[in-house]
Chain A
Amino acid sequence: MSAQLTLGPVQYNWAPEDWRDFYFKVADETPVETVFIGEVICSKRAPLYDNQLPDVVERLHDAGKHVIFSTLSEVTTDIDRRLVKRIAQSEGFPIEANDVSALQQMAAGPHHIGPLMNCYNEEALEVYAANGAKSICLNPEMPRVGIAALAEAAERHGVELEVQVYGRMSLALSARCYHARAHNRTKDSCLFVCDEDPDGMRLDTLEGDQFLTVNGIQTQSHSVLNLIDCLDDLQSIGINRFRISPQSIGTFTAIQAFDDVLNDRISPSEALKKMRDDSVDAPFSNGFYHQRPGYEWHDKVPAE
Chain B
Amino acid sequence: MSDLIKPELVCPAGTPASLRTAVDAGANSVYCGFKGPTNARNFPGLNFSKKELSESVKYAHDKDAMVLAAINSFPTAGRTDLWKQSVDDAVDIGIDAVIIADIGMAKYVAEQHPDQRLHLSVQAGASSPEAINFYVERFNVKRVVLPRILTVPEIKRVHDAIDCEIEAFVFGNIGMMAEGRCSLTNYVTGISTNMDGVCSPASHVDYEPDEDDGLTTRLGDFAIDCISCGETAGYPTICKGRYDTAHKKNYYAFEEPISLNLTRLLPDLMKAGVTALKIEGRQRSRAYIRSVVSAFRDAVDAYAAGEEPDITELIALTEGHKETQGAFKSKSWR
B318 vs chain A, min Cβ distance (A) = 20
Closest residue to A122 on the B side, CB-wise?
B77
Q: How far is the CA of A143 from the CA of B183 in the complex (A)?
A: 12
A79 vs chain B, min Cβ distance (A) = 11
Using CB atoms and an 8 Å cutoff, list the residues of chain B in contact with chain A.
Answer: 74-80, 102-108, 124, 126-131, 133-135, 137-138, 147, 149-150, 154, 176-178, 180-184, 186-190, 192, 194-195, 216, 220-226, 238-239, 242-248, 250-251, 253-255, 327, 331-334
Residue numbers in B under 8 Å from A214 (CB-CB)? 245, 253
Q: How far is the CA of A178 from the CA of B253 in the complex (A)?
A: 7
Q: Are A118 and B103 in contact (CB under 8 A)?
A: yes
Q: Are A120 and B177 in contact (CB under 8 A)?
A: no
Q: A81-B128, A175-B327, A178-B254 are in contact. Are A103 and B184 (CB under 8 A)?
A: no
Residue numbers in A under 8 Å from B74 (CB-CB)? 118, 120-121, 124
Q: Are A202 and B128 in contact (CB under 8 A)?
A: no
Of listed A147, A178, A211, residue having the most chain B CB within 10 A: A211
Q: Are A201 and B188 in contact (CB under 8 A)?
A: no
A154 vs chain B, min Cβ distance (A) = 9
A200 vs chain B, min Cβ distance (A) = 11
Contact of B181 among A101, A116, A148 (CB under 8 A): A116
Q: How far is the CA of A172 from the CA of B176 in the complex (A)?
A: 9
Q: A122-B77, A171-B183, A293-B190 are in contact. Are A75 and B178 (CB under 8 A)?
A: no
Q: Are A174 and B103 in contact (CB under 8 A)?
A: no
The 9 listed contacts between A and B (C-beta, < 8 Å) are A105-B130, A120-B77, A146-B77, A169-B183, A172-B178, A174-B178, A187-B334, A204-B245, A293-B220
Q: Are A182 and B182 in contact (CB under 8 A)?
A: no
Q: A84-B130, A294-B186 are in contact. Are A186 and B334 (CB under 8 A)?
A: yes
Q: How far is the CA of A99 from the CA of B247 in the complex (A)?
A: 32
* A100 close to chain B: CB less than 8 A: yes
Q: Are B186 and A150 in contact (CB under 8 A)?
A: no
Q: How far is the CA of A52 from the CA of B255 in the complex (A)?
A: 36
Q: Are A171 and B187 in contact (CB under 8 A)?
A: yes
Residue numbers in A under 8 Å from B251 (CB-CB)? 182
Q: Are B127 and A75 in contact (CB under 8 A)?
A: yes
Residue numbers in B under 8 Å from A174 (CB-CB)? 149, 176-178, 254
Residue numbers in A under 8 Å from B131 (CB-CB)? 75, 99-101, 104
Residue numbers in B under 8 Å from A120 (CB-CB)? 74-77, 102, 104, 194-195
* A125 close to chain B: CB less than 8 A: yes
Contact of A104 among B133, B244, B246, B250 (CB under 8 A): B133
* A61 close to chain B: CB less than 8 A: no
Q: How far is the CA of A105 from the CA of B161 in the complex (A)?
A: 14
Residue numbers in A under 8 Å from B222 (CB-CB)? 205, 209, 211
Q: How far is the CA of A183 from the CA of B189 in the complex (A)?
A: 30
8 more contacts with CB within 8 A, not counting A121-B104, A201-B247, A212-B238, are: A75-B131, A100-B124, A123-B75, A124-B107, A143-B76, A172-B184, A182-B247, A188-B331
* A153 close to chain B: CB less than 8 A: yes
Residue numbers in A under 8 Å from B248 (CB-CB)? 182-184
Of listed B190, B222, B238, B255, residue having the most chain A CB within 10 A: B190
